Amino acid sequence: MSKSRIYLDYNATAPLLPAARDAMSAALDLVGNPSSVHAEGRAVRALIDRARRQVAALAGAGSAGVIFTSGATEAAATVLTPHFKMGRSDLRIAYLYVLSVEHPCMLCGGRFAPDRVTRLDVDGQGVVDLDGLAAHLQAHDKSAGLAMVAIQLANNETGVLQPVKRASAIAREHGAVLVVDAVQAAGRMPIDIEALGADFLLLSSHKIGGPKGAGALVCAGEIMMPSPLIPGGGQEKGHRSGTENPAAIAGFGAAAEFALAGLEERAVQLAELRDMLEAGVRTRAADCIIYSAESPRLVNTTFFALPGLRAETAQIAFDLEGAAVSAGSACSSGKVGPSHVLQAMGEDAGLGGIRVSIGVETTHEHIDRFLSVFDKINAKREKNTKENEALV
C-alpha cells in the first residue's frame, strides 16, 4: 500500500503480519501431505498441530477443540445445523435464535430452514434484549429438540460488545446450545471459551493479521459436535474433509500468537487512538452521530454518520483523499441496501454510517491525517447544507 494512503479498515481485513508471512513462506517449502505417515507428511502435520495450539490459546480452548476451515463463514455454516452427534447418538437442534445485528454468515441461519430461525431484538445501542431471549427460550418446545442461540461477542459495524456471559447463563438455564462469533473480538480483547460459557466460537485469520482463506470453529468439548458440512476423506478428525492448507493455517497460527502477546498493552493504545479520533470528529461536527457510543465497544472501532451526507458518498470522498474506511461492513458495503444493523437499532438506515477501524500499524499521525480529511469533507457538507437551506 502506498505510504501516502492511510488504512483504517481493520475490521474488514488486517494487513498481513510479518510473522504470518514468514510462517507461510516456511510452510510452502514443505512438500508432504499432512495425512501421510512418512517423514515429509509428519513435518507438515507438526506444523498444523503447532498452529492449532496457537489458535486454541487465543480462544482459551484446548487444541483438540480447534477445527480449521476456509474462514469464519464456513465455520458458521458448519455449526449452524439441526444435525448434531452426542457421542455416537444423533442429537436434534430444533430451532435457531440469532441476534438481529449478526454478521450475514450467521444471520442467514446456516443449514436451518428459514422457518426454524428467529431473530432476537436489540435496543437502540445494538445490545441484545436479554429478557426477550429468555422469553423465547422459555416458550421453546424442547420436545422437538434443543434450541441454539447465536450471538456476537463484538459487532462488526458498531463494535458494540454483547453481554455474552449473561446470555450464556440464560441459555444454560434452558438447555440451549450457544454459538459465539468472536471474529472481531479476537486480538482486541481477551477471549476464553469456558469463561464465556460458549459451546462453540468462530474465528477468522485475516481479521487478526493472518492470511485470507483460513478460519476455525473452536469447540468447548468433543462430545457434542455438528454433522460435517464437507464430508469426504475425514481430515480434521472427520469434522471437515479436504486436505488442509498448511501455509494458510501456519500464517493463522502465527497471527494468533502475535495477537495474544501484548494484548492488554495494545488495547490501551488502540483505545487512546479511538478516543482521539472520536473527540476530533465531535469537535469538528457537533451534529455527528456516533453509533453505540453509550455502550461498551471494541477499542478499535468507530461507526458514525453525518446528517445530510450519505455514507457511500462519504466513503468515496475519504478514498479519494487517501483514507481507506468502510461504509458499514466490508461483506455488505458493496451491495445496494441499508445497514441491517442500523435498522435493527431503530436508526435511520438510509443515511448509513462510516466505519473507522484501527489496528497495530495505526499511529497518532494517521488519526491526525484522517481528521484533516474529515475537515475537508465536513466543510463541503456544511456548505451544501447552507446552500440547500437558502433555496427553501
Could you give the residue numbers annotated as active site? 331
State the cell numbers at 317.
470522498
Q: Are 353 and 291 in contact (CB under 8 A)?
A: yes
Q: Are 228 and 238 in contact (CB under 8 A)?
A: yes
**Integer Cα distance of 238 and 244 in angstroms:** 12
Q: Where are the beta strands (DSSP E) in 253-366?
A: 289-290, 301-305, 323-324, 354-357
SS3 category, 95: strand
Q: How are beta strands 224-226 and 83-86 bridged, if at all? A: antiparallel
Q: How far is CA 174 from CA 48, 107, 127, 163, in A?
A: 37, 22, 21, 17
Q: Are 157 and 330 in contact (CB under 8 A)?
A: no
262: left (phi over 0), alpha (psi -120 to 50) or beta: left
Q: How many CB atoms lie within 10 A of CB 4?
A: 7
DSSP per-residue codes, 172-188: HHTT-EEEEE-TTTTTT
State the cell numbers at 37.
505417515
* Amino acid, res. 340: H
**Integer Cα distance of 382 and 94 in angstroms:** 53
Residues in the chain: 392
**Integer Cα distance of 163 and 99 in angstroms:** 12
Element (H, E) at 275: helix 263-284
SS3 category, 367: helix
Calculate Rg over the CA atoms of the chain. Answer: 22
CA-based torsion, 356, 357, 361, 362: positive or negative: positive
